[in-house]
């Protein structure tokens, strides 16, 4: 997306802000977070080409607010914006440039020698300039550290315009000096003349690009096909003891490098929470007989038939409702009851070990802290190219529904697998998938009017930006 030969460079914003988007007080940062500052240093300094350096553009006051010992910011070209011609900014050492406008700075950086020597351009504040340029048309991405505090500030940034930007990555919460914060990256939804399907996100700093959670899953399947143990008749490769982690706070982990049958996910989870033993009872739209479902299963070479019904390997792992639906439903209401009334209980668990006849025995443990509900599931043995993506979506949806009806925010979803395997006949398709770059995850919205889990229907769930 970032064009080096264009007449004007695009840029990425890097800032940290409080809940109210406060960024400064008395020309200082209103917090002391060394690791946050280190992240800022790393993002703005590291380059993809060791022969180049990055540029940081800042307002004159932000330049002056930077302690003397840190300015100019080392290893970067510092571009200071000022309308004044009489300033005392040292520009003779080749590390500092002064420009009279953002536009002229971006034009200068697009011309030689800067077009060759500058890798990425970061705009780092402050407030006066952010008001005009934070959501501006040349801004490709916003790296926003959300500092979870409310303190007096005299300088503010605008909020991220979510009509223009969507989350790429959000770190798990970090606590430093008693302050909770998380790193977030938002990417522009579309660029002129390029559909969102064609946007390549490799313009992001590597350390941010690689933090997309889908890489955790892609690395797992890569590891299975490269280093897995082969079974006796050479049909399966497997790894033992695998764990994936997803952040449910901002986005929903419906994998993007391979189609996951979302309607099937909804159908299966709603069937589970209704306690139905009949796959066609809830929703009754014969979803698993649809052309879309067959196409989805066939894409994995599974050649599904209607007789596969609930025994299909895809459905394995979502079997609480299988052997005794009423007993399983009461397990679910017990769990909801505990989450609401004794959230610090150390063992809020749904178990399918004793109840299920499924080959993938599954248990799910829930955990409440900081007003958030997290869930870890354990599957004893699971197929990785088809079933794990489906299970990630299904149990994440279950976690989000449980959080919703318990008036909590969905937190982490952890997927632990004992024996994760792939069929050797799927290796080619997996290798093809590994060539694809992930796209931003979608966002899940649940109808706020529905407060009972078994009242929720498919129409109450909206997956945005899918
Ligand atoms: N939390 C964060 O991530 C973060 C990041 C950066 C800064 N900050 C904080 O933000 C505060 C500083 O921000 P601020 O809003 O007061 O000032 P600022 O935006 O850093 O700088 C304002 C100055 O930039 C120049 N300027 C503004 N618009 C311009 C334009 N269109 N073209 C050329 N020059 C332009 C003007 O300089 P002249 O007056 O010289 O013409 C203006 O006075 C400090 O408290 C700092 O600690 C926080």
Per-residue confidence in pLDDT tens, the chain, 466 aa: 554 445 899 999 999 999 999 999 999 999 999 999 999 999 999 999 999 999 999 999 999 999 999 999 999 999 999 999 877 888 878 899 999 999 999 999 999 999 999 999 999 999 999 999 999 999 999 999 999 999 999 999 999 999 999 999 999 999 999 999 999 999 999 765 555 666 789 899 999 999 999 999 999 999 999 999 999 999 999 999 999 999 999 999 999 998 899 999 998 888 878 765 554 454 445 666 677 777 766 665 555 444 444 444 444 444 444 445 555 567 888 999 999 999 998 889 987 644 333 456 678 999 999 999 999 999 999 999 988 999 999 999 999 999 999 999 999 999 999 999 999 999 999 999 999 999 999 999 999 999 999 899 999 999 998 7
Gap between the Cα atoms of 49 and 47, Å rounded = 5
Rounded Cα–Cα distance for residues 374 and 138 (Å):
37
Q: Among 188, 209, 230, give the residue marking a domain's end.
A: 209
Statement to judge: residues 164 and 244 lie in one domain: no
- 161 found inside a domain: yes
Residue 70 lies in a domain: yes
Residue numbers of the domain that contains 73: 11-209
CA gap 183, 302 in Å, rounded:
40
Which residues are 179's β-sheet partners? 176
Q: What is the DSSP letter of 306?
A: G
Nearest in space to 298 (alpha carbons), one of 310, 311, 312: 312
Domain finish residue from 179, 209, 239? 209
Pocket of ligand 1 from Cβ distances under 6 Å? 15-16, 23-24, 27-29, 58-62, 65, 81-84, 100-102, 124-129, 155
Rounded CA gap, 293 and 101, in Å? 55
Best residue for ligand 1 mutational test, from 18, 20, 24 (most atoms within 8 Å of Cβ): 24
Please give the backbone phi and psi of residue 287, each rounded to the nearest 5 degrees, phi first: -60, -35
* Residue 365 lies inside a defined structural domain of this protein: yes
Task: Note the pLDDT of residue 219.
Answer: 98
* CATH number of domain containing 45: 3.40.430.10
Domain membership of residue 96 (yes or no) is yes
302/416 same-domain check: yes
CA of 360 to the centre of ligand 1 (A): 57
Strands (E), 248-303: none
Task: Determine, yes or no, domain membership for 3.
Answer: no
Residues 333 and 421 placed together within one structural domain of the fold: yes
Structure-token match 């025995």, residue found: 361
Q: What is the pTM of this model?
A: 0.90
Is 400 assigned a catalytic role? no
User: What whole-number distance in Å separates Cα of residue 56 and Cα of residue 45?
Assistant: 9
Contact 55, 121 (CB under 8 A): yes
Q: Are 249 and 196 found together in one domain?
A: no
Number of domains into which the chain is organized: 2
Question: For 70, how many CA atoms within 13 A lie in the half-sphere containing its CB?
Answer: 10
Same domain, 273 and 386: yes
Token pair of 25, please?
A: 């007080």
pLDDT value of position 194 = 59
Do both 263 and 329 map to the same domain? yes
CA distance 402 to 451: 10
CA nearest neighbour of 260 among 427, 390, 422: 390
The pLDDT value given to residue 461: 97
- pLDDT at site 323: 46
Which helix (H) or strand (E) segment holds residue 195: the answer is: none
């Amino acid at each position: 997306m970032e064009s080096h030969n264009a007449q004007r460079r695009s840029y990425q914003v890097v800032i940290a802000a409080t809940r109210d988007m406060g960024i400064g007080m008395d020309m200082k940062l209103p917090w002391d977070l060394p690791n946050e500052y280190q992240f800022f240093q790393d993002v703005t300094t590291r380059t993809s080409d060791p022969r180049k350096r990055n540029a940081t553009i800042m307002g004159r006051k932000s330049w002056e607010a930077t302690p003397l010992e840190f300015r100019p910011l080392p290893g970067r070209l510092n571009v200071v914006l000022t309308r004044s011609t009489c300033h005392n900014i040292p520009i003779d050492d080749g590390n500092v440039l002064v420009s009279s406008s953002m536009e002229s700075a971006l034009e200068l950086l697009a011309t030689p020698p800067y077009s060759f020597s500058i890798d990425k351009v970061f705009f780092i504040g402050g407030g006066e300039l952010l008001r005009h340029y934070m959501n501006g048309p040349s801004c490709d991405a916003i790296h926003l550290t959300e500092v979870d505090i409310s303190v007096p500030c005299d300088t503010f940034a605008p909020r991220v315009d979510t009509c223009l930007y969507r989350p790429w990555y959000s770190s798990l919460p970090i606590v430093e000096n008693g302050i909770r914060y998380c790193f977030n990256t938002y990417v522009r939804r579309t660029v002129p003349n390029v559909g969102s399907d064609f946007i390549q996100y490799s313009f992001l700093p590597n350390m941010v690009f690689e933090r997309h959670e889908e890489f955790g899953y892609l690395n797992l399947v890569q590891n299975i096909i490269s280093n897995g143990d082969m079974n006796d008749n050479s049909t399966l490769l497997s790894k033992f003891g695998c764990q994936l982690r997803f952040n449910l706070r901002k986005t929903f982990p419906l994998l993007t490098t391979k189609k996951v049958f979302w309607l099937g996910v909804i159908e299966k989870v709603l069937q589970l929470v209704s306690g139905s033993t009949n796959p066609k009872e809830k929703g009754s739209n014969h979803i698993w007989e649809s052309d879309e479902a067959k196409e989805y299963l066939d894409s994995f070479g599974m050649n599904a038939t209607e007789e596969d019904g609930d025994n299909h390997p895809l459905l394995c792992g979502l079997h609480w409702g299988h052997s005794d639906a009423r007993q399983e439903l009461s397990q679910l209401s017990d769990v909801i009851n505990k989450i609401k009334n004794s959230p610090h209980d150390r063992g809020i668990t749904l178990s399918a070990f004793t109840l299920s006849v499924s080959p993938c025995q599954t248990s799910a443990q829930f955990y409440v802290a900081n007003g958030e509900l997290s869930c870890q599931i354990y599957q004893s043995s699971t197929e990785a190219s088809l079933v794990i993506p489906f299970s990630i979506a299904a149990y994440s949806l279950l976690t989000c529904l449980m959080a919703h009806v318990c008036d909590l925010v969905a937190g982490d979803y952890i997927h632990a697998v004992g024996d994760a395997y792939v069929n050797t006949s799927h290796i080619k398709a997996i290798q093809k998938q590994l060539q694809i770059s992930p796209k931003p995850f979608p966002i899940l919205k649940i109808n706020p009017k529905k407060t009972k889990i078994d009242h929720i229907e498919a129409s109450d769930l909206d997956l945005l930006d899918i």
